[in-house]
Amino acid sequence: MSNLATTEPRTWSRSRWWLLVGLVFAAHLGFIFAFGDRKPIAPRPLPPTTVLTLSLEGDELLALNDPTLFALPNRHGFAGAAWLELPQIPFHPYRWTEPPRLLPLPVAELGATFVRFLQTNAPGRFAFETKPAPVPTIATAPEITASSPPRSTFRLADGLTNRRWLNPPELAAQPAADLLTNTVAQVSLRGDGSVLSAAILPPGSGSAKADEFALDKAKSARFEPVRSGGEKLTVGTIVFEWATVPLLETNKPPANP
C-alpha cells in the first residue's frame, strides 16, 4: 500500500494554474513592449496623377494635338470662316405704313340679310294634337240573382292523408257576422279506424258553434282500418274550411206562398 501511494501523480491546485496563466500573460506583454516598433506613423506619399487645368487663351500647340483638326471642319481651319462663322443679318421688322381704311356701314341695309332669310325659309305650320272629347258613360250595377250559398269543405292532413273517411259529414255554410277561419281538429285513431280522442286546436275558427259542430263530427268519424293489423295509434288532423254567409240571410222570415 505504501508503494502505490508514492507512485500516484500529484495534481496542481487551482491557484497554481491561475499563477501559471498570469506568468504567461505577463511574458507576452513584455515581449510586445520589448520588440514592438515605436516609430511615428508617417503619411504615405501620393503617386503622380493627371491634373486638368482650364486655359483662358487659345494655345496653338494644344490645337495641333486635336485629332479632328484635319478630319472635321474646324473654326481655326481654312474653311472655318466660310462654314462655321455665320454672317450677322440685321433684322428689320415689317411695319404697316398705309393708314387703315374702315369699311362703310350701310345703316339702311342693316337686318336685310335676316329678312331675306325669313322670306326664303318660312317655317311650317304647327298643329297641336288634342285628345278627343270624353264620352260620358253610365255605370250599371251587375244583375243580382239568387244563387245557392257556397258549401263548406274539409281536408285530411298529417297522418290522415292516406286514410279514407268512411262517414264524411255534409258541411253547410256557417252564418256569421264576419269571415270564419279554418277549424283544425286533431284526432287519434285506433287500428280499426275508430277515433280514440279528438280536440280542437287553438285558436279555432272564431265561431263557437262551428267549432262545436266540427268537434262532434271528428269524434263520430270512422276511417278505413289499417290492413297490416295491430293496435298502433295514428295521429292526424282534419281541417274544416268554412263557407260564411251573413246573419241577415238566416234571420229573414219565410216567404208567403
C-alpha–C-alpha distance, residues 41 and 35, integer Å: 17
Inter-CA distances, 83 with 2, 71, 73, 127, Å: 122, 15, 8, 83
Question: 43-47, 73-77, 93-97, 107-111 — which is least confidently predicted?
Answer: 73-77
- The answer to whether the bond into 203 is cis (omega within 30° of 0) is yes
pLDDT band with cut points at 50, 70 and 90 for residue 256: very low
> What is the predicted pLDDT for the residue at 25?
92
Query: Closest by alpha carbon to 198, among 214, 222, 215?
Result: 215
Question: What would the grid cell of residue 143 be?
Answer: 244583375
| pLDDT tens digits, one per residue of 1-22 | 445 455 556 677 888 889 999 9
Query: Taking the model in full, what pTM does it have?
Result: 0.39
Inter-CA distances, 182 with 16, 171, 185, 211, Å: 114, 13, 10, 9
| pLDDT tens digits, one per residue of 177-213 | 888 888 888 888 887 888 888 888 888 888 888 888 8
Domains, the chain, with CATH or none? 153-248 (3.30.2420)
